[in-house]
A and B are shown apart, each in its own frame.
Chain A
Amino acid sequence: MAIISFKMNQQLKDNNRYLSLLNISDVYSISSIVKIIIYSLLGLLIILRVIQQLSRSTRLIQNETVELSLVIGSFPNYCYYESLGFRYRLSRCEHYSLGEKLSLSGKLDPSSDTFFFGQKELIIQDIKVVNNQGSLGQVLVNKILKLIIIVRSYFLKQAKQLWPQPHATIILGMVYGLQEKLPESLLSRIKITGMQHVVVASGFNVSLIAGLSLWLLTKLKRFYGLRFWLLSTAIIIYSLISGLSPPLSRALVMAILSLAAKYLLFRQYKPLWGILVTFLFFVYINPWYLFNISFQLSMSATLGVLLVNPALSQVSSFFLAASLNDLSKIFEIKSRGIVAQLKGELSESFLVTLSAQAFTLPLILHHFGELSLISLFSNTFLLWLTPIITITGLISLLIIIPLSFFSIIEPLISFFLLILVWLPTEAFIRGTYFFSFSPDLLIQIKQLSWFQVWFCWVIILSGVSWSHYHVKRS
């Protein structure tokens, strides 16, 4: 009893500390004029950065030689290397090791995209390995990067031998964001069902790692600062091992902002501000992100869930409550237990899918001109398998790979873990085949222009505001 009251007192103390810090930060909050000045300066900085990048593009287009740097981050095609916005074609096919930092100079391939931020192919004339050049900090960062990339390649090499194909590609796509080629037959089925987004690592993976780390750090309740640094390190290492794809980078920055708000600044995290800061951060780091399709889709899906989902939930709960009341009155039904939980899961899955698609659909129509007629249903009924595959896949890899390193894999354990992940993945594959019963479910339409995309978004946002207003009034 005494222990319980002590714990409660500690919790109250923690809460008071939290509240007092919140008040202090409120007291010292900067005035709105200073805020405007800071935001304007930030905006200016980003504009300057974009202009700087534009000048590099202009120099390329004018056929000048430019210098760039590149870290070999994935198993290379030894005649080509790629980074965001650029494809480097080597004049002589050469192989560089994972994690090596290269300094390149080259000219634009005349047949390349001449739009300022388009994907450019460069003919590389000079390459230098610059691993051990620069300040001590840079050299150290390069060495850490190299180590992480080598760990990643070891993980992937081992993981590929754990499951059969195409299961391995799907699991590694969900857990690590590995973008290996799926068999053509399955890929076309996934396209029909509009489930391509599932086979990439994104916000869910980052929150999963943060959740696991948080569970491991339950003892550090009061060390908020330490918690922040440990959680951030965990998700940064995971994101680096996973290859820092644009959606994962987006999720990483948003997660760090959210953790900083919670554990360092003791302020309420506002996701909409989070997404805006993340967006500006990436535009500053590399404006090519703006023209990266994965980044655009990841941003718009998050924005859709943040903006549209609350409004949709309000509307649906309003109508659903009314209809359920009527039904229960007529049939005297009370939904309980698993059925109610399942219904809740499915309706949530449906609403999240609808919200994300509301914002991503115009973009998909702009880039690909394809519309999946079954995507809403396939996502509703198959999306719940994603966290199961990701969690079991991650756990299996975390258990099996260290064991394989010491060559002590117990066949029964590996067989059990194999089944644990294989079953939901098989269900996902079979579900995909089931929902893609006809190729006519994927229709080709005229690609939307950017003006049309923005017009759609404005319409959706107006609808959201209108429904929000009306539900509130009701």
Chain B
Amino acid sequence: MNQLFRYTFSYFIISMICLLIFLFFFPAFEPKLIFCDVGQGDAILLTSGFTQVLVDGGIDESVLSCLSENMSFWDRDLEVVVATHADGDHIGGLVKTLESYRVREIFVPDHSAESEAFYQLVAGIKAQKQAGAKVRVGNYGQEIVLSSNFRALILHPFLADQSKNEATHLWESLLAEDTLQDFNNSQFSIFNDQDINKNDESIVLLVSLGNSKILLTGDLEEKGEKALIANGLTTKIDVLKAGHHGAKTSSSAEFINRIQPEKVIISSGQNNTYGHPHPEVLAEFKHLGAQVYRTDKLGSIKLMSEEGHLQIK
């Protein structure tokens, strides 16, 4: 009887400790966007309670620290991962993320790349697909719903039926059983993407957080921005994640004047060799009266809605 009591008491104590730890690390339910400081690259986490969406993963494993800091330690699931385009500074960290988290849904760009990072990303997506993840090619009109007042709508690319079929076919063949072997042996010859400017094919997300609008443009450049204007998809927004880390090739005057952002976030690395963000782009934002926040100066930047107003921390 005494032994039974001792076991019951031990079980009770252990359960209480687990419960206390669970409560202590219980996630905050307020929705927020975190622009992770991943050096020269993009990684944006959208989180609301137990639901997380990761848009790009930076160049290396730095994104994992950001995820650990902003997610409960027992939460090993990412509901959605978006690879805006196939550049190494956007997908390098996604490779590590796919190794460390279970992912339910993956949005991929409509192109491929001749790089080791892309090869590893395909291998990672293939493993996640085998574990039950859904893979979709990002296209205008698809919506990711985190909660009733926190959504992300894909604005770009605007794939016509034929190009959508081609992109779907590309990913089906990439994720097919024996394609990776062909890929190894053919030294990337299955890809023929010489003519594509991957940056202009970036998946662009319009995030609605309460009444506020936040535009995540990946590495979208002037041509892509013009496509957004031409398709009538530009509207006044509250926060802009500057395209291509504030490079001169993005954030054209026409586009900026259309969307009139109040705040601009630039995700770039300290003392990066590309000279991002470009002084002319910074001057443009200053001229517009937008406040600029940079991850190379401030580290990770948190954006949340407090009493209907966007707050940056």
Contact = CB atoms under 8 A, between A and B. Distances in A.
Interface of A: 77-79, 92-95, 157, 160-168, 180-181, 183-186, 415-416, 418-419, 422-423, 426
B62 A183 contact: yes
A160 B76 CA distance: 10
B61 A165 contact: yes
Given A165-B100, A166-B64, A418 B184 contact: no
A452 B100 CA distance: 45
A251 B73 CA distance: 33
Contacts, number: 68
Interface of B: 14, 17-18, 21-22, 60-62, 64-65, 67-68, 71, 73-74, 76, 99-102, 116, 119, 127, 180, 184-185, 187
21 contacts: A92-B187, A93-B116, A94-B184, A94-B185, A95-B180, A162-B76, A164-B71, A164-B100, A165-B67, A166-B65, A167-B68, A181-B61, A183-B62, A183-B64, A415-B18, A418-B73, A418-B74, A419-B18, A419-B74, A422-B74, A423-B21
Contacts of B74: 415, 418-419, 422
Contact of A161 (B17, B65, B101, B185): B101
Contact of A183 (B65, B73, B100, B180): B65
A162 B100 CA distance: 8
Contacts of B65: 165-166, 183, 185-186
Nearest to A165: B64
A162 B74 CA distance: 8
Contact of B187 (A93, A181, A419, A422): A93
A422 B184 contact: no
A455 to B, nearest CB: 41
B228 to A, nearest CB: 35
B99 A157 contact: yes
Contacts of B62: 183-184
Nearest to B180: A95
A95 B187 contact: no
A415 B17 CA distance: 12
B291 to A, nearest CB: 27
Nearest to B97: A165
Contacts of B180: 95
Contacts of A160: 99-100
A140 B62 CA distance: 41
| Most B-side CB within 10 Å, residue of A79, A163, A185, A419 | A419
A400 to B, nearest CB: 12
Contacts of B185: 94
Contact of A79 (B21, B60, B76, B116): B116
Contacts of B76: 161-162, 164
A419 B18 CA distance: 7
B187 A78 contact: no
Contacts of A186: 65
B68 A166 contact: yes
A153 to B, nearest CB: 11
Among A161, A164, A416, the most chain B Cβ lie within 10 Å of the Cβ of: A164
Given A93-B187, A95-B184, A168 B100 contact: yes
Nearest to A162: B76
Nearest to B64: A165
Which of B18, B73, B185, B187 has the most C-beta atoms of chain A within 10 angstroms of its own C-beta?
B73
B61 A183 contact: yes
A416 B18 CA distance: 7
8 closest A-B pairs by beta carbon, nearest first, are: A165-B64, A95-B184, A164-B68, A183-B65, A164-B73, A160-B100, A160-B99, A165-B68
B151 to A, nearest CB: 27
Contacts of A418: 73-74
B83 to A, nearest CB: 19
Question: Which of A79, A160, A165, A166 has its CB near the most chain B CB atoms (within 10 A)?
Answer: A165
A93 B67 CA distance: 32
B255 to A, nearest CB: 35
